[in-house]
Amino acid sequence: MKRLLRYKQKIEKFILDTLFPITCLGCQKQSDQWICEHCLKKISLKKDQICPICEKIITPKGEICFSCHKKNSIDGLLVCTSYKEKIISRAVGYFKYRFVKRLSIPLSKIMLEASRNFDLRLPDIIIPIPLHPHRLRWRGFNQSQLLAQYLGKNLTPGFDIPILENNLIRKYYTSPQMKIKNYKERQRNIQNAFTVLQKENIKNKNILLVDDIATTGSTLFECAKILKQSGAKKVFGIVIARQKV
């Protein structure tokens, strides 16, 4: 059955590539990848990380600074690259709104390299930011879940880090954060939108939260709060980039 499925996927890929040839989002040359290896290597990773709350103090791995420690539940946020890189903004747009699932691979590779560059502490479990079922049906996949699955298999070669799906869930269908410009409104929009179904699965665990893009960080911060309230020991986040409003 698995062999038949892989064969079907290869046929579908061949048909799509023939009818709609892929052009690298960086160099614009025809390729078998949405970001060719040459352009992928040219993407600059962040050299320094800062406190995700005040965004002023440089901290190791993007850990929360001492002054902000009591203001938020998240323990840190690793931002891999800059959204100002045109190839990143285009790739994320294609990934989320043109439903190009294959972009999960190069984007995941960027996250993997950044996590190794900053010696990110290995988590006990990885949790992707969940989508509401309505949005999941619309998009067809959870982009954060695809990124999390790649990291789970590649952060420690030969040893998979468990991906905990369908435990942290989104209770309410909220307006897309990208459409809300005001910081306070973003916070209100996402407040109490998440819940944990089985707290015993995260109790005393070090958790890595995975999302594609952070803007104000409200979604990640809200998820971290709920996870900490449910017994998580540490909650660290990782995103491809942080977009400014």
Return the pLDDT at 6.
59
The number of beta carbons lying within 10 Å of the beta carbon of residue 217 is 24
Are residue 196 and residue 147 in the same domain, yes or no? yes
172-189 mean pLDDT: 67
For residue 35, which of 113, 112, 100, 118 has the smallest C-alpha distance? 100
Read off the pLDDT band of 19 (50, 70, 90): very low
134-157 mean pLDDT: 94
Total tally of structural domains belonging to the chain:
2
Are residue 51 and residue 123 in the same domain, yes or no? yes
Are residue 25 and residue 59 in the same domain, yes or no? no
Please indicate, yes or no, whether the overall pTM of this predicted structure exceeds 0.95.
no
With 90 as the cut, is the pLDDT of residue 224 above it? yes
Are residue 57 and residue 91 in the same domain, yes or no? yes
Are residue 37 and residue 65 in the same domain, yes or no? no
Are residue 122 and residue 181 in the same domain, yes or no? yes
Indicate the range of 71-85, 104-118, 173-187, 231-245 predicted with least confidence: 173-187
Are residue 162 and residue 219 in the same domain, yes or no? yes
| Residue 173's CATH number | 3.40.50.2020
With 80 as the cut, is the pLDDT of residue 176 above it? no
Average pLDDT of the chain, as a whole number: 89
Return the pLDDT at 243.
87
Return the pLDDT at 21.
74
165-178 mean pLDDT: 80
With 90 as the cut, is the pLDDT of residue 24 above it? yes
Instruction: Tell me which of 20 and 236 has the higher pLDDT.
Output: 236
Return the pLDDT at 72.
93
With 80 as the cut, is the pLDDT of residue 114 above it? yes
Return the pLDDT at 185.
73
Are residue 18 and residue 93 in the same domain, yes or no? no
Are residue 9 and residue 121 in the same domain, yes or no? no
Q: Which domain holds residue 38?
A: 1-42
Instruction: Tell me which of 139 and 12 has the higher pLDDT.
Output: 139
Are residue 5 and residue 111 in the same domain, yes or no? no
Are residue 2 and residue 119 in the same domain, yes or no? no
Are residue 26 and residue 86 in the same domain, yes or no? no
Instruction: Tell me which of 112 and 21 has the higher pLDDT.
Output: 112
Distance between start and end Cα atoms, the chain: 47
Given a contact cutoff of 8 angstroms between Cβ atoms, the answer to whether 16 and 22 are in contact is no
List strand residue ranges (DSSP E) for the chain, in order.
Answer: 76-79, 125-128, 168-170, 194-196, 206-210, 213-214, 234-239, 241-242
With 70 as the cut, is the pLDDT of residue 195 above it? yes
With 80 as the cut, is the pLDDT of residue 10 above it? no
Read off the pLDDT band of 197 (50, 70, 90): very high
CA dist 129 and 123 (Å) reads 16
* Angle between the N-to-C axes of helices 143-154 and 104-117, in degrees from 0 to 180, rounded to the nearest 10: 50
Return the pLDDT at 189.
73
With 80 as the cut, is the pLDDT of residue 2 above it? no
